Every structure is written in structure tokens, then in C-alpha cells.
Structure 1
Amino acid sequence: MPQWLEQWNRKLAKWLWGVVLIGLIGSLPLIYARVQTEASSKNVEFVMDYRDLLQVSYTQVDPQGYLQSRLAMLKEAGVNAMAVFESTLEEYNWSGDVTVYNAQQAALLDGQLPKPGDNRTFLLFNKPENEPVLRPLIENAFKRIGVTVETWSSHDRTGLILGLGPDDAYMRPMQPNPIAMKMLKDQGFLIVPRLSDRTQPYDDEEMGKWIDSFKELGVTRIIFDGDAVTGFNDQEEEQSLNKFADRLNAAGIGIGAIENLKIPQKGLGTLASKLDYNVVRVHSVSEGEMNVAKPVVLADRFLLAVKDRNLRMVYLNAMAVKDSSKGQVTNPIDTIVKTLAGDEEEDVKGAIEQIRDFGFKVGEAQAFDVHHAPAEKLWKALAILGAVTLVALTIGLFIPALLLPVTIIGLVGGAGTFVLDSSLLNQALALFAAIAAPTASMALLIRWLRVKHERRDALPKSAWGRLGGAVVLFLRTSVMSLFAVPFVIALLNHVSYQLVLQQFRGVSLLHLAPIALVALYAVLYGYGGSVKTNLRNLLKQPITVLWVVVIAVVGAAGMYYLSRTGNSGQATGLELKFRSFLEGTFGVRPRFKEFMGGHPIFLLGLFLALRYRWALVFIVVATIGQLSMVDTFAHIHTPAYLSAMRDLLGLAIGAIIGLVGIGVWQIAEGIWRRCRPGASARG
């Protein structure tokens, strides 16, 4: 590269770092607005599945007595809401409101022989006081789908004959049971209807009646059942969703979004936008998990869901199961009670007490009150400018001649991102900035170390000098790696990210790209000589057995590293206990790969790199800790202040472990010097 171009690029780089600083400052109002938004919702709603309670009660000798006793027990433990599904004949059978018969059973009931080929459904109402409510509800539901409905009676009880097979009739959805909802409301529970999209076509007039009844009961939120929101599968999809959204908006009713579903519910994001994001995230514990989990594990799980992932509804399931080991039918109701209220005998602190310790309270879940920064577009523009500049500077570290053209191209792209305000473009720029910051910080460190090694007199001579230099470099580099954080927050500042209706894509690339780029920079620029010479030497290296072994080891380590990233990563039992200790001691746990991996290796590597060139390999490996700090903030559903605490705690603990590692190295090096052959002769 010509000398004049090199000088020009150096001057340009200094100015561009100033632009990055301006972008960082411009991001601060957007960060503050996000923190305000996250602090606006502190109520946690514990929702019990009422259908599950009916199913469990149906296994008992006195179903109604058992149901009422368990409702009182759950209420006292802290459950403050009940989820009521669209009713079915099976559910009415569990509750004792009706008894359902097939044609053969109905004939025998009347002392007659069944008619051949008759597969209709017969039902009798068991509670005369409830019949005036349930009869028109059932008749209307089946007539709307073209099923014939006739009156029937037997043994002084009135009923209905449905022109549908019993198996089919059992499953047909109807309006949520108004009698059950009123009973639960009178007992002090909040009502959370669960609606599906199984009734086709969407009937806006009928849905209006349902929602009016919900409003009278004080319903403020519904959760969807099945794979789609109500109205999604109608042939006139957009129109039906609009109508349904209008109904909810008029009634002031929001929705719940269940996290970690294998397949997201169709239409949820579209409906959420039409409701102006009147959405609350829901954490659900499946029936299978609830039957085997211990109260202490569930309590910890609920705390993390509320505190770490902005979930404001905890959905509780229960299922009666035949336990062959005990020789009886069991259910997890007692486990739920112990989880929420605690158990003094087993020294279990209840989930409700734990979440209260963190400033939350049991109450009606509320959507976030979205805050916006004054002059938000201005701050967003500065953040985009800073992010683009950071990415350009990083590219310029690798290919200095491209700094100016890349900056110009980036500014044009940044302008397009600002004008279009596209979610995809914002995510792309946030990802590039997230990769750029740790890459640039480590690359600048490698360049600084190279210069110091070329001037041997510039390196600290004593161990204490190297220790002081290592600590300063550790802090300086970590701060620079965190430059990406304000840009990620500012670019992904829409509430849909906090509700996980949109997700930050490309996180897997963030886990790998900085490591690969820093390794490349170390090879090309870390050991003296020109880039061409270093690259030529690398390509001329013979492939030996040692190289194959090294590649295999690095590959295995990379696979393990990737397996530990994301929510699906598995932790060892010892690690889980250590996590629990950190959570209980500090209220937040740092990321294991930071405080036990990246940061200690980084500090030890810096200490060694101030003396040995080969120690650059530690710097490359330590990139894991630097990118992990940025990745912590890529989990937008985690409160920003909690992510900050997690990073700071990881740095502190990692530094302590790194200092211990330096001490061990010094002791081991001293012993080696005294014990190696010829040491006494030279002494």
C-alpha cells in the first residue's frame, strides 16, 4: 500500500473512532427507554389449567368435593388465575353437568334394544339449575356446524340427541363454560380464556358474544390453544384477524404468547401488532414435567422465567397418571402448592416469596408500557452511523486500503436502513456490529503486542509489571468489545424483540466469526513480516500427523463449544450446582464460558503474551469470552440491567480466576527453572 494512502487511512481511522463514540452516546437515550419499558410491568400471574383440574378431580371418589378443596388450596398457595378452555362434552362430563351415552347405552337405559346402525350421541342434563345455560349453548354450537339436534328425556331427566358420532361429538369445541367461569370469578380467581381456531368458518358475531361475556367477567387477557390464533385459518384470513383484533381492542383484552413452543402459533405476531403489542409472555410447564419435577427445581425455574426472561404469566398444568410403582393414581397438585408456597419441612423456599424478593408481586399480568426516547429518530440515526463506522473500521484493520470505500458503502447502506426501518436490515447491522466489536478489540490488541515485541525495550521486565499491564489490557479490551452492546440495543429496540415475536437472527455466526477472524488476524499480522509472507508461509506448511491431531482437537472443542451455546446447551450436574450457588449469592449468574473459560484464559494469556510471542494462541481462544459478553445482550428478552450485571460479574470472577492462574504459572515456572537440567551449573 502506498505510504500516502497508509497515512490517509490512519487519519481517517482516528476520525471514524470519534464517530463511533458519537454513536455510542446517541444510543444512551434508547437504552434508557428500554430499561424504563422493562421496569413497567412487575405483576406475575400464576395460571392454573382448570380443565386439568376437572380431569384430575374426575379420578376421585367425590369429584366436586375434591375440585373445590383443591381450588381453595391453590388459591391459598398463590394461584390467582384459572385458564378456561373452549368447552366440550367431555369436559361437561368431567364436571358432572351432563352424562353422555351412545345409542346402545341410551336404548338400554330405557329398557329397549338399540336400533341397528344408529351411532348418534345422547346426553342428559344432570343439574336442572344449569340446564337453562348449557342447553342453548350446546344446541347453538352443534347447529352452527350443521348437526341435527333433537330433544330427548329419560328417567325424568331432559337431554338432547346429536346427529353426530360420540367420538366426534366429544371433541367439538363450544363457548367456554359460563357457569364455571362465574364460579371461579366468585372465588376470587382471574379468568384467562383459551381460544382456538378449530371452529370454521370464523363467526364474528358469535365471537362478539363470547368476548362480551369475557368482558363482564373482567377478563383482560386470553391465551390461544392449538397451532393458530383465532381467525387465522379462515379463507378470508386477513379480514377475520382484523375483525377478531377489533373485538379484542374494543374490550381492552390482550393476549399471551407461550414461549418455547416447538412450532410458533400461526398469526400470533400479526395479531400482536394489531393489538399494539398488548402481549404478555407465558411460561408453561407441561403435564409430564410437572409430574416428575421437584418443588425446589420448579421454584428456581419460575424465578428465572420471571426475572431473566421477562415472563409475566406462569401456566401450571396437572394430569392424573397411573403410577405403577405406587399402585395408585397420582397427580402433581401437592407439588404445585409446595412450589409456590414453599415447604418448611423440606426447607423449600416458595417461588412466590423468591420473586417478591426481586421486586415482583403476584397480580394481574400487564403488558409492557412501551417508553420512547425524545427525538428517537435522531438517536437511532446516530446509533446506525456508529454501528456502520465500527464495522468499516474492523474491515479496515484487515485490509487497510478498503477503509474509505467500505465506509462510503456502509454510510449508504446505513441511510437505507434508517429510511426503510426494515427489521431485516436492522438485524443485519446489529449482527455485523456485534461481530465487529470483539474482533476489532482483539485485533488492535494483537497489533499492539506485535509493536511491543518488535521494540523489546517497550515490554515490562518484571512479573509485577507484566501483571499490571495485563490487567490494564484486559479491562481496556473488554470495554472496547462491549462497544457493540449499545448498538445492538438501539437497533433492536422494538418491543416485539422483548416479547420474542421477533428474534435476533445470526447468533450462531456471532459465536464463530470473531474467533475465526481474530485467528486469521493473528496469523497474518501477529508475528512480524508482511501479510503476503505470513500467508505464503502458512500455505507452505506441510500437513503432518501433528497438524491432523491439532485440527481434530480444535474441531472437537468447537463442536462442544457450539453445543453449549443457545438454550439447548446441556450443563453438568456440578455446573448446575455452581450456577445455583451464584444465583443465590449474587441474584444473577454469569455465563460459565466467560468466568471459567474466556476471561481467565485472556488474563493469563495477556500476562504471558507480554513476554512470549507464542502466547497469542491464548488471545485467540479468549475471544470466546469477549464475544460472549456481547452475545449476552443479544438475548433481547432478558432485561438489559440483568445482562449488564451478568457481564460485570463474569469479568470480576473471571479476573480472580485468571489471577490465580497467573500465580500458579509463576510458581510452576519457578520450579521448572530450578529443576531443569543444568540449572544448578548455571547458578
Structure 2
Amino acid sequence: MVVNPRGLLRIAVLLSALLSLPALFPRMQVERPGPVVLIMDGEEVADQARFTGKAFLQLMQEYRALGVQGAALYEQSVRNWVNRGLLTFHSANTLQLLYPNAQIKPGWFYLTGPADLLDAIVARWNIPTERVLIGTQTWLATPVNVDIFPAGYDLALARELKAQGFYIVARPFDHPYRKYDVELVPPETDAVVFAGLDVLGFKDHLDTVAVGLQGKPVAWIEGTPQRGFAQLAKTLPVKRLFSIRPEWQDKLSPAETADKFVLAARERGHQLLYLRPYKQSGDTQEFLTILQRDLERSRIPIGEPTARDFSPSPLRFVALAGVVAGLALLVMGLPQPVGIPVAVLLVLLAVGVARGDAAPLLAAMVFPALGFFERHLAGLRLWLAAVLYSLAGVVFLAALGSTPQSVLGLDPFRGVSLTLVVPPLLVALSFLPSDYKHALNFLYNYQFKLGEVAIALVGLAVVALAVLRRGNDAAPSIVPEWELQLRAFLQDVMVRPRFKEIFAHALAPMALLLPWPTWIKNTLLVLVAVGMGSILNTFSHYHTPLSISFFRVLNGILIGVVLGLVGVWVFRRLREWWLR
């Protein structure tokens, strides 16, 4: 009896995928959307309260009726307390004018106010200070301008908000002259959102800050990586936060802003939705009304966020056997003797780029190409094989790469570009004949036609565009306005598929069901491989729930195949008309 090595490897891939599936369950149990808490920026609310003549707490109660349950309280600076009339601050020159006979040190700065507030403030600084009597008041004197030094929180406001049931977010800011062995946030704090580009205590005091925060969750702000956050996240709970910059929000309608927050909660795992009011109160009310309605429609509860922590299943290591089997299938599917060198190169590339996460990257590079090596399959069966191999790669990638850190976005997938570039290159390489010397000589002496060059350039442009537009942060200039509007429409009616996948699945019937010359068919299949790589690329966004990624891929397959079959019908009708 003859043993078919490829058949055994296919069985190994199938069994590994099936046995690895249970390893996904711990992640799926914790990544369900919600509950989310709507948090209003405290400084923005304070500004609006002053403008409208309302009290801060009165305005928060109005927002509470519209679904807002949280308030973000900033650590105050000396300047803030001065502006609120609680402190008086002067430079030496100004104070000398007020008290001409006082012994005032030139170049120093002087601060006065309630004694308990001064004591609490000076306890936060590690600079020289003196207490001096000038006039009838005791002044705090320092050689450093403390105008923008951290000066504590409005603790009375924090206590009142907590008593009314609000979720309190503290926003401390760092300063080179502050201390870290004091109370860093109010005791009522439910979560901490660091202000600026560095976390509190970066980089020499992170251990002290981790202890001082006493286990309070810290917020990971999407799009704003903060130095030192990863170290704090090792010992403190982490919650994902989504916000929109004020200058960007001003350009969006209330409905558009609400849509972005709902999308973040539904498809990117955010639990803290950090809001800012519009300049016009009517726009703010409309925004919050739409947001609350759409969250309810998406079945995302509003409430206190729960911790998203899980223990990865030991079954995830079964996926390693599947990745190895896939690598062996790659070696056998490529023309010899290039199979082994290419496999070794891919392993080295994966280790070099992803290091300890090399196996998920290998799965993402190899499995999108394997279906195209099943040359015994005809028509759409070849495309179906490519989809199934890609989905097997998805199981291996998700099983091996899903950790609490990656799901939170703290440890992102490395090698995103390779998932889009390597699979089409492997498919193109598989089309080379075994007699590569003769093929190279033929290619060298081949007289290219203008049409062939044009098709090749179009193919390269498609691959380049796919790489440039990877992820969610593609440059706006690359994405036309009509596509942005189409994305928004699809996003409203379904889990929006990626256009690369729609394009690839639409191209597959065109490539496999129409009578193209071999070289054109192969070129089209290389472009289809870009879409297969995009399937793995979709699931490499670990912070997106698996169910969302699955339906994104499924919708891309359904829409793409329907469009492709329509294209085949149109092409055949046009061809019949042309040949009459």
C-alpha cells in the first residue's frame, strides 16, 4: 500500500485545527461586547457649566439621564486652583510691589491659601520650600516656578460624584518634580487614564506608581500609546478606552460621532467610552441620544465594565503541529529544489520579525497559499480549498496568538505587511516550472507585449495598494471619499467586510470559470491570494472579537462570490456578442 505524504499532511492539518478549536473558547467568553460605561470629560463639563451658568453636578445629572455614568476628574495644577480663587500665586517681583518692606528673595515664587491645601500640595513636590510670614499671611516660598505643578484633586467633588453613583476616572499628569509615595488618585477612583504621552512615573518610578495605584484599572487609549504602560499593565488591570480628539469631533455630526463609539464598543472591545460635549448643547443631547439608542440596538449594555482576563488553554500548543504540517505542504507544493530553502527563509523571517510569536506569523504567511497548490482541483473547488486552508490558518493563528495582552491590544500582531505580501509571492513561485533554468532563459529572451506589461503593472499596483491600506490607519489620501461613504453604509447594515477580500473572492470565479490563457489565469490567482492573506490579516487584529472577524470574512466571501458570478455571466454575454 502506497502512503500519500500529502494526504497524511492534510489529515494532520485538519486534526490539528479541530483539536485547536477549544483553545479559542476562553477568549470568546471574555470578549463579548460590553458592558460599557460612558464617561464625560470633567474639564469640558466644567467649561460648559461656567458658560451656561449651571453647576457641575447639575449638568452631570442632565447627562446621566442620557446614559452618561462616569466623570473624568483631572489632577489640578497650581494655576487651576488660582483660577478657581482657592490660591494666590505671585512671583517675587509682583509680591515686592504689594509688600515693599517684606524680605522677599529675588527670583523666588510665593503661594498662599488655606493651610490644609498648602500642606497637601507641598507634600506632592520634592523641591526646596520655605514658610514665610508676609503681611498677615503665611506664604509658601520656592525657588521654582510651580505654576503648572500637580496640586491634587478636587476631593470634595470626587466624593459627591461617588455618592451619587458615578463611575470616577482619575486623570493624573506627570512632572519631574513630583513625588510618588503619596496618594496618587482619589480613593473613589474606579479607573485611571493617564494624561500625556507618558504614564505616571515613567521611567524611574513605575514600580512605586504600580503599588500606589492599589490595583485600580488603567486605561489603554487606542491610537495614543503611552510610554511605560506595558510595565504597569503587568501588575494592574487594563481596560480599553476609546475617545475622539475635540478638533476631530467638531468636524463630525452627532450621528457620525455616535457611530464611531458604537463601532469601537462592538467591534474593537472598548469598554470605556470617553466622551466630550459639543459646543452646542443641542448637538450634545442629540449625540448622547443616538449613542444610547444604537448601543441598545447592538445589545451592548451600559454599566460598570468587567475585567477581561483569561487563561490561555494548553490545547493551543496543538496548533504548532498544524503549522508544521502546513510548512511541509508548502515545501511539497513548491517547485523543487526551492521548497526547502523557501521554508527555511520563512521560518527565519518569522523568528526575526515576531520572535516568540513566530508560529502565528508563519501560519498567516503559509496557509493562504496552500489551497492554490491543490492543482488537481478544478473550477471553484480550487478557490474553496484556498478558503478552507486559510480558515485552518486562522484557527492556528488565533489559538497561538490569543493572550490577555494581545486581546487588549498591548501585544499586537507583528508582521502585518508580510501577511499580505508573502502569500501572493508563494503562489506566484508555485507557478514556476521545475525546469527553472529553461524557464529563466525563456523569460529572459521573451518579447513582452504592451498588454502583458500593463496587466503585470496593474497586479503589482493592487498588491502595493493592499499593503499601503493595511489595518485601520491607512492614510486618508489613499482612501477615496466615495469608499469612505460606502464603508459607513456597510458598517450600518452589517459587519463590514474588507474590500480586499470582496475583490479577491469576486476575482476567483472570473479567474477559474472563464477560458483565460494560462498566464492570465495564474496572474489573477496571484491577486486572489492577496485576499486569502487578508483573511489571516483580519484575524491578526486580536483586539477584535473572533465573532466579528468571522462575520467580516463571511460577508466578504458571500458578497465577493455573488459579484464574481455576476461578472462571469456579464463577461460571457459580452464575449458572445463580440464573437457574433
- The two structures have a TM-score, normalised by structure 2, of 0.88
CA contact (8 A) 1:242 1:274 kept: no
CA contact (8 A) 2:354 2:415 kept: no
Cα deviation, residue 45, structure 1 = 1.8
Corresponding residue number in structure 2 for 1:502: 411
CA contact (8 A) 1:103 1:114 kept: no
Q: In structure 2, how many angstroms separate the alpha carbons of the residues matched to 1:406 and 1:612?
A: 24
Corresponding residue number in structure 1 for 2:501: 594
**Structure 1 position 87 matched with structure 2 position 76:** yes
**For 2:577, which of 650, 653, 671 is the aligned residue?**
671
**Structure 1 position 604 matched with structure 2 position 504:** no
Corresponding residue number in structure 1 for 2:528: 622
RMSD, aligned CA:
3.4
SS for the counterpart of 1:292 is coil
Q: Which residue identity lines up with residue 89 of structure 1 in the other structure? A: V
**For 2:30, which of 21, 37, 62 is the aligned residue?**
37
Corresponding residue number in structure 2 for 1:324: none
Q: In structure 1, how many angstroms separate the alpha carbons of the residues matched to 2:455 and 2:103?
A: 79
CA contact (8 A) 2:129 2:140 kept: no
Cα deviation, residue 531, structure 1 = 4.1
Distance 1:611 1:273, change over 3 A: same
What percentage of residue pairs aligned between the two structures are identical? Answer: 27
Q: In structure 2, how many angstroms separate the alpha carbons of the residues matched to 1:252 and 1:293?
A: 37
CA contact (8 A) 1:36 1:371 kept: no
Distance 1:581 1:227, change over 3 A: closer
Distance 1:513 1:106, change over 3 A: same
Q: Which residue identity lines up with residue 394 of structure 1 in the other structure? A: L
Distance 1:576 1:151, change over 3 A: farther
**For 2:118, which of 135, 140, 148 is the aligned residue?**
135
Q: In structure 2, how many angstroms separate the alpha carbons of the residues matched to 1:406 and 1:548?
A: 27
Corresponding residue number in structure 2 for 1:398: 334
CA contact (8 A) 2:39 2:272 kept: yes
Corresponding residue number in structure 2 for 1:481: 390
**Structure 1 position 364 matched with structure 2 position 364:** no
Alpha-carbon deviations, 1:545-577, whole Å to 9, x = none? Answer: 666655554444443333322222243332233
Corresponding residue number in structure 2 for 1:585: 493
SS for the counterpart of 2:555 is helix
Q: Which residue identity lines up with residue 274 of structure 1 in the other structure? A: T
SS for the counterpart of 2:331 is helix
Q: In structure 1, how many angstroms separate the alpha carbons of the residues matched to 2:524 and 2:342?
A: 31
Distance 1:295 1:405, change over 3 A: closer
Q: In structure 2, how many angstroms separate the alpha carbons of the residues matched to 1:478 and 1:84?
A: 50
Cα deviation, residue 612, structure 1 = 6.5
CA contact (8 A) 1:390 1:437 kept: yes
Q: In structure 2, how many angstroms separate the alpha carbons of the residues matched to 1:71 and 1:314?
A: 16
Corresponding residue number in structure 2 for 1:147: 129
**Structure 1 position 195 matched with structure 2 position 172:** yes
Corresponding residue number in structure 2 for 1:50: 42
Gaps spanning 5+ residues in structure 2: where?
none
CA contact (8 A) 1:396 1:402 kept: no
Q: In structure 2, how many angstroms separate the alpha carbons of the residues matched to 1:589 and 1:45?
A: 25
Corresponding residue number in structure 2 for 1:272: 233
Alpha-carbon deviations, 1:405-461, whole Å to 9, x = none? Answer: 999x89x99xxx9xxxx99444222111111111111232xx236xxxxxxxxxxxx
SS for the counterpart of 2:250 is helix
CA contact (8 A) 2:312 2:403 kept: no
Q: In structure 1, how many angstroms separate the alpha carbons of the residues matched to 2:103 and 2:449?
A: 85
Q: In structure 1, how many angstroms separate the alpha carbons of the residues matched to 2:367 and 2:79?
A: 58
Corresponding residue number in structure 2 for 1:514: 423
CA contact (8 A) 1:54 1:91 kept: no
Corresponding residue number in structure 2 for 1:254: 217
Corresponding residue number in structure 2 for 1:311: 270
Q: Which residue identity lines up with residue 445 of structure 2 in the other structure? A: K
CA contact (8 A) 1:93 1:99 kept: yes
CA contact (8 A) 1:229 1:268 kept: yes
SS for the counterpart of 2:470 is coil
Cα deviation, residue 97, structure 1 = 2.9
Corresponding residue number in structure 2 for 1:28: 21
SS for the counterpart of 1:193 is strand
**Structure 1 position 389 matched with structure 2 position 297:** no
Q: In structure 2, how many angstroms separate the alpha carbons of the residues matched to 1:666 and 1:578?
A: 28
In the comparison of the two structures, how many residue pairs are matched?
574
Q: Which has the higher helix share?
A: 1
- The two structures have a TM-score, normalised by structure 1, of 0.76
Gaps spanning 5+ residues in structure 1: where?
1-6, 126-130, 235-239, 319-329, 342-349, 450-468, 675-683
CA contact (8 A) 2:102 2:134 kept: no
CA contact (8 A) 2:110 2:142 kept: no
